Structure formats: structure tokens, C-alpha cells
Amino acid sequence: MRRAFSFVENFGPKPKLRTMNFLRFESEQTWIQSTAAFWRDRLRANPRLRMCLPSGHTPNKIYAELGRSVARGLISFRESEVFALDDFGGLAPDDAGRCRNMLQRYLLDHVDLPKERFHFIDAEAPDLNRVCREYDELIESRGGFDLTLLGIGLNGHLGLNEPGSSLDSGTRRVDLHSSTIQASAAYLTHANLPTWGVGAGLKQLLSSREVWLLANGPKKAEIIRRVVKGEISVEVPASLLRRHPACFLFVDSEAGKLL
């Protein structure tokens, strides 16, 4: 592992010192192993860790590593809690591309989390507003997230918080940007691409005690450059994490190559 640098930003009329911890790894393999090692530490320090977790391609190899860690008895998810970050709407409940099903397949099937400790947003519920409100109430009743893992969209979105999302947005239905719709094709085995979804809002994500932004591969290099070096703006939601008091950016050498 190589710690590349850490940068400090000041904000607002009365600036407070904020640091985004930036960790760049020499290979995808060390990125996977090191991120998993940090995660094991967090679970050992707090077995009751409340996590908000994404689906998508980015975290899958890290999830596999965590599954192996559970199998080897190094850590346990027994007392922890997992909240799904988001889900697509308009797909069949058993569609392999549903975020809930991906999270199940890549992580939950391989760890010892009791079923009732996994929470997700039911995008097919008849009263979606109520489902969203109840998701926020559940998160708040637990005291918020301890650790939120996030991938990043090519447009800088965080979960389904697309560019322009409000800072105090809660869990809600969202129309997907065209780049998000196109990206979803990678998870699906059919051409019925989702046009909307439901996801936890920036309010919940930014108030998580700790946030990890994960990116690997050359396709993410340009957006990671904008997140780290560009303007802090809701137009690039991930850039807002530079205001977060405990954010770690984990990139491999490819995703970090423009920094």
C-alpha cells in the first residue's frame, strides 16, 4: 500500500479544516486487499457497525474478500446491520440486475448477516413515498450510518443522487440520467433498461460517520480528477465529500492516474 497524499480544504465564511484521506494503491489487487483490511478493522472495532452499501461492479471483489474473511473466522457480520444504498425501479423482483439482488449475490450470500439485519428499499411497493419515508425513519432511529461505501458514476453521482441533487435530500424516487441508464446495461441480461430508481439521499450519506469512496480502472480516472481537483458543487455530487470530516477515497493506480 502506498499513501499518495492527503489534501486539506477550507470551506465557508468561517472555514473549518477538512481532510479527505486519499489512498492510492499500485494495483487493483492491493486496492482490494487493503480496502478489505480497513473494513475488517472497522468491523472488529465495532461489531454492531451500521453500514450503507452499494451494488455495481466496483465493490464486488472487495465483497468477495470480505466473504473469505468471514469464512476464515476473521470477522463476523452477525451483530452488524446493512442498508442497501439504492435500487432500480421497473425491473422484475428476481432480476439479477436489481441492486438488492446484486448485494445479496456478491456479499450477503457469503457473510453471516442475519436476514432481518439487511434493509433495502422496495422499489415495487405501491406507496413508494411511504417506503422512502420509512427508510429514512429507520436510518434515523438507528442513529444514522457508521460507515457508507460508495462507488462513483461517470457523472459524479453518489448512489442515485444525480448531479443537482439537494444537500438535504432524503430517500426518494429519482429519474436516472442518461449515463446512469446506459451504465445499468452492464448489470442486466436484457435490454429493458431502468429509467428510474430509489435511493438514500445526500442527507443520510453525508451524515454518515465515515464515508469511503471507491474507484478502480481507467474509466473512472477523469471523474476522480474532477472530484479531487475540481470545484465542490452539487453538479458533481462526489465532490461534496471533500467537506466530509471522515472521508476516505480509495483508488487503484488507474483510477488515480490523473491526480
Residue 177 among the catalytic residues: no
Residue 162 among the catalytic residues: yes
In the complex with ligand PGA, the residue whose CB is nearer, 162 or 210, is: 162
Quick check: 161 binds ligand PGA (CB under 6 A)? no
Residue 124 among the catalytic residues: no
Residue 175 among the catalytic residues: no
In the complex with ligand PGA, the residue whose CB is nearer, 152 or 251, is: 152
Q: How far apart are CA 18 and CA 244, in angstroms?
A: 7
In the complex with ligand PGA, the residue whose CB is nearer, 41 or 222, is: 222
Closest approach, Cβ 79 to ligand PGA, in A, equals 27
Please report the sign of the dihedral spanned by the C-alpha atoms of residue 31, residue 37, residue 104, residue 139: negative
Residue showing the smallest CB distance to ligand PGA in the complex: 56
Residues 58-78: b if buried by 16+ CB within 10 A, e if exposed: bbbbbbebbbebbeeeebebe
In the set 81, 146, 162, 254, the catalytic residue is 162
Which range in 67-75, 91-99, 148-156, 231-239 contacts ligand PGA by CB under 6 A? 148-156
Residues in binding contact with ligand PGA, number by CB under 6 A: 8
Cβ 152 vs Cβ 215: under 8 Å: yes
Closest approach, Cβ 179 to ligand PGA, in A, equals 9
3-state DSSP call for residue 170?
Answer: coil
In the complex with ligand PGA, the residue whose CB is nearer, 59 or 67, is: 59
In the set 101, 155, 161, 216, the catalytic residue is 155
Residue list 176-195, contact with ligand PGA (CB under 6 A)? 183
Strand partners for 247? 20, 211
Closest approach, Cβ 56 to ligand PGA, in A, equals 3
Residue list 48-107, contact with ligand PGA (CB under 6 A)? 56-58
Please report the sign of the dihedral spanned by the C-alpha atoms of residue 108, residue 112, residue 115, residue 121: negative
Q: How far apart are CA 76 and CA 200, in angstroms?
A: 25
In the complex with ligand PGA, the residue whose CB is nearer, 19 or 159, is: 159
Burial of 130 (0-12, 13-18, 19+ CB in 10 A): exposed
Quick check: 165 binds ligand PGA (CB under 6 A)? no
CA distance between the termini of the chain: 17
Q: How far apart are CA 134 and CA 148, in angstroms?
A: 19
In the set 65, 101, 110, 157, the catalytic residue is 157
Angle at 38 between CA 32 and CA 35, to 5 degrees: 15
Quick check: 152 binds ligand PGA (CB under 6 A)? yes
Catalytic residues: 86, 155, 157, 162
In the complex, the residues that contact ligand PGA under the rule CB under 6 A are 56-58, 151-153, 157, 183
